[in-house]
Amino acid sequence: MVGRSERFSFLGKAAVQMIVIGLALLFLVPFYFVIVNSLKSYGDLLTNSASLPAELNFTNFSRAWEIMSYPRAFTNSLIITIFSNIGLVIISSMAAYKMVRTPGKAMNILFILFVSAMVIPFQSIMITLVKVGSIAGLMNSHLGLIICYFGFGVPLNLFLYHGFVKSIPKEIEESAVVDGCNAYGVFWRIVFPLLKPMTVTVVLLNSLWLWNDFLLPSLILSGKELQTIPLATYDFFGQYTKQWDLALAALVLGILPIILLFLSMQKHIVEGITAGSVKG
Amino acid sequence: MAKAIKRSKWPEYLVFIGPAMFFFTLIVIIPFLMSMYYSLTDWNGVSSKATFIGLDNFKKIFMDDDLFRKDFWFTIRFTVVSVLLTNLIGFGLAMLLTRKMKLRNVYRTVFFLPNVIGGLLLGFIWQFIFVKGFATVGELTGIGFFQLPWLGDAATAFWGLVIVQCWQFAGYVMVIYIAALINVPKELIEAAHIDGASKWVMLKQITVPLIMPAFTVCFFLSISWCFKVFDLNLSLTKGGPFNSTESVALNIYYEAFRNNRYGLGTAKAFIFFVIVALVTVLQVMYTKKKEVQA
């Protein structure tokens, strides 16, 4: 009797493992199709898109690299992601710290104002944002786009820091004040280093969003030389519809950097999502 | 004296909170308030003149904008189906991947992977899968499912979007469900097991109520993702064929930036905001009520 139930549970385990493997393959098949076909010539791709390439053919990649000015698009995406992150970390951590450490209703109301803005869908303010952007001189410049990201990123970033600052004991700061540190010294020398785990989370969550964002940059940036990777890919697809060999190579180039970032930082990203999801 | 100290603190507040407040106001609050005003005008975006026309835009939208109504209905159907499937798959994966198993973390990574790619590129990837990949698989296996005219008619385009949306977000909610499942006290499950409760009863009576906060979050997130679907919609179907898969977000975008009817667009955007806010707040209130303490 015992033996049978053990055998059953062994079979059950094997079955579960098989199901998981099957599902994982199902999730990976699209990547297989894209990568395999990006290495084929157009003729091979049309005759059989499921097979492995007969020979590795990197000409698609070198052509796509040139046509979409990949190095330029990559640099643009990188600049925007880095500087938006730096600014967001500074302004949100400072504001969150001060808001937590100031007793009273006013700060609570301010905090609720920031957080409730997260319900506003981007599409319901994008039209007037373009108007504000042209009045404020934010259009068609990287700096303008970065400033927009400051505004859109602050609610979530501030929310995440707010929760984290609460868990830091006040006593450390108080002793620093006694030692003659001013408010800025206390924050930058003592509190900010303690916020590091949350800063990692915030930067990674921001990076996934900033790197992949399409709609906002498409409204703000119009010059080709300013294009980010999603914008360059979009244009590329517009020009080379149905030229799948080139298009797929461009797609692989487009997704590669963010996948590498994810694979190298996945532990932190998964932790970040769990931390960020407590907001419900 | 006390007053003097308080006044001297003002610059400090300005430095700490001022920048966040400034950018937030400039980028979110001002456009939000402006869009309320412009929704009552005939602004066309090009000329600087915008005449106040009262509720005419809203009247037009509710009385004779068939496409907007159709797009809303599409968005609702898309949201209901995708939210249920995303959470079902994500929760199922979480249940499987909280068991002891070899390479568990590798599988978790695989299921999460689609999420790191943005909706725009995902849409292009899947366009290829649906148009070429499915056709090839259909030829090789003869299975009817793969031989359908994917993205070519309203039904397959709808399900195409649902498939990609689930593929993208199931892994994300899975991560949240896993974190919640790990925290369910083992003693409770063991006690129920000794009492002879079946697996299904344990799931329904113990696990699900205990991880209700995770459901609150996952439903909140997936509802807002689906309602706001834009990038994926633009790159996978462009709203076609014949506007059958045009989301509200895409409709607003076209109205403003293609038809140059900015006033009408902001009115639609305002309606959109009210509905998204209402739905998400109601959902959070509803699932929060079901949360229990262990």
Residue pLDDT, tens place only, B39-58 = 999 888 777 778 888 888 99
Kindly state whether residues A121 and A158 are assigned to the same domain.
Answer: yes
End-to-end CA distance of chain B: 51
**Number of compact structural domains in chain A:** 2
Q: List beta partners, residue B52.
A: B41
Flag whether pLDDT at B160 surpasses 90. yes
Say how far apart CA B230 and CA A95 lie, in whole Å: 32
- Summarised one tens digit per residue, pLDDT across range B210-248 is 899 899 889 999 998 999 999 999 999 998 788 899 999
Instruction: Check CB contact under 8 Å for B19 and A95.
Output: yes
Cis amide bond preceding B241, omega within 30: yes
Chain B contacts in chain A segment 189-208 (CB below 8 A): 208
Query: Which of A94, A214, A270 has its CB closest to that of B16?
Result: A94
Q: How far is B19 from chain A (nearest CA, A)?
A: 6
* A263/B132 Cβ within 8 A: no
DSSP annotation of B143: -
A39 with A141, same domain: the answer is no
Residues A35, A154 within the same domain: no
More confident residue, A242 or B193: B193
Say what the pLDDT of residue B197 is: 82
* Averaged pLDDT for residues B60-81: 92
Q: What is the pLDDT of residue A94?
A: 97
User: What is the band of A7 on the pLDDT scale with cuts at 50, 70, 90?
Assistant: low
Q: What is the pTM of this model?
A: 0.90
Cα angle B86-B248-A125, degrees, rounded to a multiple of 5: 105
Q: What is the pLDDT of residue B2?
A: 47
Is the CB of residue A226 less than 8 Å from the CB of residue A144?
no
Same domain, A50 and A138: no
pLDDT of residue B152: 86
The CATH number of residue A122's host domain is 1.10.3720.10
Alpha carbon B161 to its chain centroid, in Å, reads 13
* pLDDT, tens digit (0-9, with 9 covering 90-100), for A184-243: 999 999 899 999 989 998 998 899 999 999 999 999 999 889 999 999 999 988 888 778
Q: H or E element: which one contains A32? A: helix A2-38
Q: Which residue in B has a C-alpha nearest to residue A278's C-alpha?
A: B217
Give the tokens for residue B221: 């997130």
Q: Are A41 and A245 in contact (CB under 8 A)?
A: yes
B133/A277 CB distance under 8 A: no
Task: Please state the rounded mean pLDDT for residues B247-263.
Answer: 92
- Domain co-membership, A33 together with A129: no
The answer, for A35 touching chain B at a CB cutoff of 8 Å, is no
B111/chain A closest Cα distance in angstroms: 7
d(CA B240, CA B246): 7
Q: What is the CA radius of gyration of chain B?
A: 24
Kind and range of the H or E run holding B158: helix B154-182
Question: Where do the domains of chain B lie, and which CATH numbers do they carry?
Answer: 56-289 (1.10.3720.10)
Domain that residue A84 falls in = 64-279
Q: Which region among A170-174, B57-61, B156-160, B248-252 has the lowest average model confidence (pLDDT)?
A: A170-174
CB A17 within 8 A of CB B99: no
* Average pLDDT for chain B: 89
Higher pLDDT, A6 or A45: A45
Inter-chain contact B35–A124, Cβ cutoff 8 Å? yes
Residues A52, A83 within the same domain: no
Q: What is the pLDDT of residues A125-154, one digit of tens each?
A: 999 999 999 999 999 999 999 999 999 999
Is the pLDDT confidence value at B118 over 50?
yes
Q: What is the predicted pLDDT for the residue at A157? A: 94
Give me chain A's average pLDDT, please: 88
> A–B: how many Cβ contacts below 8 A?
253
A148 touches chain B (CB under 8 A): yes
Tell me, yes or no, whether A134 and A45 share the same domain: no
Q: What is the average pLDDT across A238-264?
A: 88
Touching check for B197 and chain A: CB below 8 Å?
no
Residue B6 has pLDDT above 70, yes or no: no
Percent of chain B with pLDDT over 90: 51
Whole-angstrom CA distances from A235 to A127, A209, A253 are 22, 20, 14
Residue A32 and residue A86 in one domain: no
* Buried b or exposed e, range A58-94, using 16+ CB within 10 angstroms: eebbebbbebbbbeebbebbebbbebbbebbbebbbb
| pLDDT number for residue B294 | 52
The last residue of one of the domains, among A11, A40, A57, is A57
**Which of B23, B32, B109 minimises the CB distance to A147?**
B23
Domain identity same for A229 and A201: yes
Identify the residue with better confidence: A49 or B25.
B25
pLDDT digits (tens, 9 = 90+) for A108-130: 999 999 988 988 999 999 999 99
* ipTM score assigned to the predicted complex: 0.89
Contacts of B132 in chain A (CB under 8 A): 33, 37, 45, 49, 244
Residue A95 has pLDDT above 80, yes or no: yes
Which residue of chain A is at minimal alpha-carbon distance from B13? A98
- Among the residues of B142-261, which ranges form H helices? 144-147, 154-182, 186-194, 199-202, 208-210, 212-227, 231-236, 248-257
Query: Do A112 and A170 lie in a common domain?
Result: yes
Do A228 and A163 sit in the same domain of this protein? yes
Beta strands in B158-225 (DSSP E): none
Q: Which of A28, A57, A86 lies at the terminal end of a domain, its last residue?
A: A57
> Between B20, B214, B273, which is nearest A92 by CB?
B20
Distance from C-alpha of A46 to C-alpha of A34, rounded to nearest angstrom: 13
Question: Do residues A192 and A264 both lie within one domain?
Answer: yes
Token pair 């609702």 is at which residue? B76
Instruction: Find tokens 């689609």 and name the residue.
Output: B114
